[in-house]
Amino acid sequence: MTTALKPTLARCLWTTPLFAVIAALAVVIVRNVLGMDPVVQMSTLLTFAYIFGSIGFIVGIGGFDYWWKWIIGSDIDPNDHSQHGAYSWRDYFRFNTDHKVIGVQYLVFVFTMFLVGGMFAMIFRSELARQGSEQVLTNQQYNSALSQHGAIMIFVFMVPVFAGIGNYVIPLMIGAADMAFPRVNAISFWMLPIAGFIFLSSFVFGSFDAGWTAYPTLQDQSPFGQTLFQIGVIIAGSSSIATAVNFLVTIVAMRAPGMTLFRMPLLVWSNLATSALVVAATPFVAGAMFMAMFDREMGTNFFTTAGNGSALAYQHIFWFYSHPAVYIMVLPGFGIISEVISTHARKPIFGYRAVAFSSAGIAVLGFSVWAHHMFASGLESWLRVPIMISTLLIAVPTGIKIFSWLGTVWDGVVRMTTANLFALGFIVAFTVGGLSGVMLAVVPFDVSITNSYFVVAHFHYVLFGGSMLTIYAGLYHWYPKVTGRMYNEKLGRWHFWLTFAAMNATFFPMHYQGLEGMPRRVSDYAAEFAWSNTMISIASFVLGASTLIMFYNFIHSARHGKPAGNNPWGGLTLEWMLSSPPPVFNFPVTPRVIGGPYRFGEEGAKHAIIPEVEPAEVEKVGA
């Protein structure tokens, strides 16, 4: 067989266009048969070509090969591991079923998108650096850059990056050989490059420019790129649903013997809560996107005023996903922080059960607060107070977590490694974001401050000061495990202090700007904001540049770093019991969990053992 027929990226080069062209032809034929005018409607054609082209890509990469053979009754071997594991760098560029490879694929891809999304932020910050409009970008381009920044950062960076970290770490933490559905896992990764490509390719068709929320009726006026935004979100959403199903089954059914619910590391707990959220909430964004897409491409009337539709209904459905999405983007981060702080402060996590239950509490409460994004939108007035109360309530489980991290650090033997610096920095920055969130939950305050830079400051403190710092903490924490080498600690500290300082310099003044009434999403501003905006732009460039230190550090250390050994941090959870990087099939023998995951300070305490003897004798040891 030639390379073009085997499941590789090379096969995608012909399957993708093939599926796209067939779909386009089918559209033309159907329109012809139904007597629609015009027969060749470019936007409809492209919509179908994009959707089926995406399916063609998954077919090309080999996502359905196994099931196809299975369903037609060909001979297949369920224990065929030929697609599992990486033996050379090429194996990272193919359909790979190894969760560790997929984790690395995720992280490399989403951080590429992170750079792209950050680039868009730099571009529109340079427009905002000086007062006056259309200096660097036209207003249209400004809107596009802004929308691309939001869409890329949220849908192909912040949501999947935790799937990447979880993919690598969770099967190791629970003592499993792999995820429950390795092929589904690979498919959900390969959907992401498609979504990223679709977002970026929308520039060919005028990009999308209605912000990441894309409210109708604003988005009705956007060029065809807006439809591509909707397709991209649907694909990224499918990817995250598939991953969540995978995580749920893996965590529920594939834990090592002895790992009861309350012996699970907290990252596993928070991923369980997050996955439940994704399964229940993400379909709603798909629903909203489908309806909006039908409105644009089929002339339906879901959200148009002319056809008795309701633009407010879009906001209800959209935020019913997108508020839980905020927790989808930060709950796994909480888990990472629990791991990092406990390990680096050499203390058991303070109030383990409280932290675990607060994750579940946030997941449940997260569904009852969506309308706080809509206080100023002409919402039914009776909804305001209940939603305000539930929004204020959600600060309680979050506060529980903050205090138990502080309780963990208190009196601990704290090691100021880069990972721990990021974790401690997260506590500070996230508290700021959380407090401004409580302010925004109060209806009168929200109504007067809505759509101002105060909101921008709030969600950047939550997403950058919150999620992003947890991601950095996690990356530095598990980098030795993934590569087998230590990163450069000095460069790591430079990265932390520059990022932390620049982050605060960028986003803190935005609180003041918002309170003074500077509206968001506008390319020009009043003269009184000139000084602060110039400062913010400079700080944001420093913030962007500081990221490069990490990339240099990680790429350089992967080759030249000191060997890390199995357990550089002295962690107790299962992944630290394996070699760095772990063997292709993880555990040579199924481990047995014999205690809690954070038993620091107990003499000779162990979380788990990897028996090297016969299972019969293991029974006695485990008992």
Contact pick of 165, 170, 273, 291 for other proteins (by CB under 8 A): 291
The alpha-helical segments, DSSP class H, found in 255-302 are 266-298
- Figure out which of the listed residues 21, 22, 26, 313 binds other proteins, where binding follows CB under 8 A: 313
Residues in the chain: 623
**Nearest of 127, 182, 121 to residue 149 by alpha carbon:** 121
Distance separating alpha carbons of residues 234 and 203, to the nearest angstrom: 18
Stretch of 237-245, 265-273, 537-545, 598-606 lying at the interface with other proteins (CB under 8 A): 237-245
Q: Is there binding between residue 265 and other proteins (CB under 8 A)?
A: no
Q: How far is the CB of 23 from other proteins (least distance, A)?
A: 15
Contacts (CB under 8 A) with other proteins, residues 560-619: 583-585, 587-590
37 phi and psi angles, rounded to 5 deg = -130, 130
Which is nearer to other proteins, 93 or 410 (by Cβ)?
Answer: 93
Pick from 309, 333, 480, 568 the residue near other proteins by CB under 8 A: 309
Rounded-to-integer distance, Cα 331 and Cα 270, Å? 6
Please give the Cα distance from 330 to 322 (Å, whole number). 13
The three-class DSSP label of residue 592 is strand
Task: Round to whole Å and give the CA distance between 166 and 554.
Answer: 19
Separation CA 320–CA 330 (nearest Å): 17
**What is the C-alpha to C-alpha distance for residues 133 and 350, in angstroms, rounded to an integer?**
52
CB closer to other proteins, 178 vs 339: 178
Name residues contacting other proteins, limited to 484-543 (CB under 8 A): none
Given the rule CB under 8 A, which of 2-10, 125-133, 145-153, 454-462 is the region that contacts other proteins?
2-10
Minimum distance from residue 131 beta carbon to other proteins (Å): 43
Does 252 bind other proteins (CB under 8 A)? Our answer is yes
Closer residue to other proteins (CB): 291 or 577: 291
Alpha carbon distances (Å) from 602 to 9, 348, 407: 51, 10, 18
How far is 94 from 197, CA to CA, in rounded Å?
A: 17
**Which residues, in sequence order, are CB contacts of 390 under 8 Å at separation 6+?**
365, 368, 369
Among 64, 203, 294, 494, binds other proteins (CB under 8 A): 294
Among 241, 264, 475, 618, binds other proteins (CB under 8 A): 241
* Cis ω before 217 (30° cut-off from 0): yes
Q: Is 253 in the site for other proteins (CB under 8 A)?
A: yes
Q: Tell me if 282 contacts other proteins by CB under 8 A.
A: yes
Contact flag: residue 381 with other proteins (CB under 8 A): no
Quickly count: other Cβ atoms within 10 Å of residue 565's Cβ: 13
From the CB of 317, what's the least distance to other proteins, in Å? 5
Binder of other proteins out of 131, 139, 301, 377 (CB under 8 A): 301
Running DSSP on this structure, what letter comes out for residue 593?
A: E
The CB-of-583 to other proteins minimum distance in angstroms stands at 8
SS3 of residue 572 by DSSP: coil
- Residues in a beta bridge with 593: 608
Rounded-to-integer distance, Cα 575 and Cα 169, Å: 7
The residue from 55, 102, 248, 356 that contacts other proteins (CB under 8 A) is 248
Q: Report the residue from 32, 133, 307, 621 that binds other proteins according to the rule CB under 8 A.
A: 307
Residue 262: CB atoms within 10 A of its CB come to 11
CA distance 144 to 530: 23
Binding to other proteins by CB under 8 A, coded x per residue (else -) over 84-113, reads -x-xx-xx--x-------------------
x/- mask, other proteins, residues 164-203, rule CB under 8 A, reads -----------xxxx-xx--x-------------------
Could you say which of 125, 255, 401, 511 contacts other proteins (CB under 8 A)?
A: 255
The continuous run of DSSP H or E covering 435 comes out as: helix 418-441
- What letter does residue 607 receive in the DSSP assignment? S
Q: Least distance to other proteins from the beta carbon of 63, Å? A: 16
User: To the nearest whole angstrom, how small is the minimum distance from the Cβ of residue 418 to other proteins?
Assistant: 33
Where residue 579 falls (left for φ over 0; alpha for ψ -120 to 50; beta otherwise) is beta
DSSP 563: B
Question: Which of 161-169, 244-252, 493-501, 554-562 is the region at the interface with other proteins (rule: CB under 8 A)?
Answer: 244-252
Nearer to other proteins, 288 or 518 (CB): 288
Q: Does 264 participate in binding other proteins (rule CB under 8 A)?
A: no
Which of residues 104, 194, 259, 356 is near other proteins by CB under 8 A?
259
Kindly write out the interface string for residues 64-83 of this chain, putting x where it contacts other proteins by CB under 8 A and - elsewhere.
------xxxx-----x-xx-
CB count within 10 Å of CB 583 equals 11
Q: Distance between CA 177 and CA 538 in Å, rounded?
A: 47
Using CB under 8 A, which of the segments 103-111, 251-259, 330-338, 542-550 binds other proteins?
Answer: 251-259
Residue 302 vs 554, nearer CB to other proteins: 302
CA distance 94 to 83: 9
CB of 440 to other proteins, least distance (A): 25
> What is the smallest separation between the CB atom of 101 and other proteins, expressed in angstroms?
11
Which stretch in 131-139, 307-315, 397-405, 436-444 sits in contact with other proteins by CB under 8 A?
Answer: 307-315
- Is residue 320 at the binding interface for other proteins, with CB under 8 A as the rule? yes
Quote the tokens at residue 297: 């491409």
Candidates 97, 105, 246, 540: give the one binding other proteins (CB under 8 A). 246
Using left for φ > 0, alpha for ψ between -120 and 50, and beta otherwise, residue 317 falls in alpha
Euclidean distance between CA atoms 147 and 16, whole angstroms:
27
Q: How many binding residues for other proteins (CB under 8 A)?
A: 71
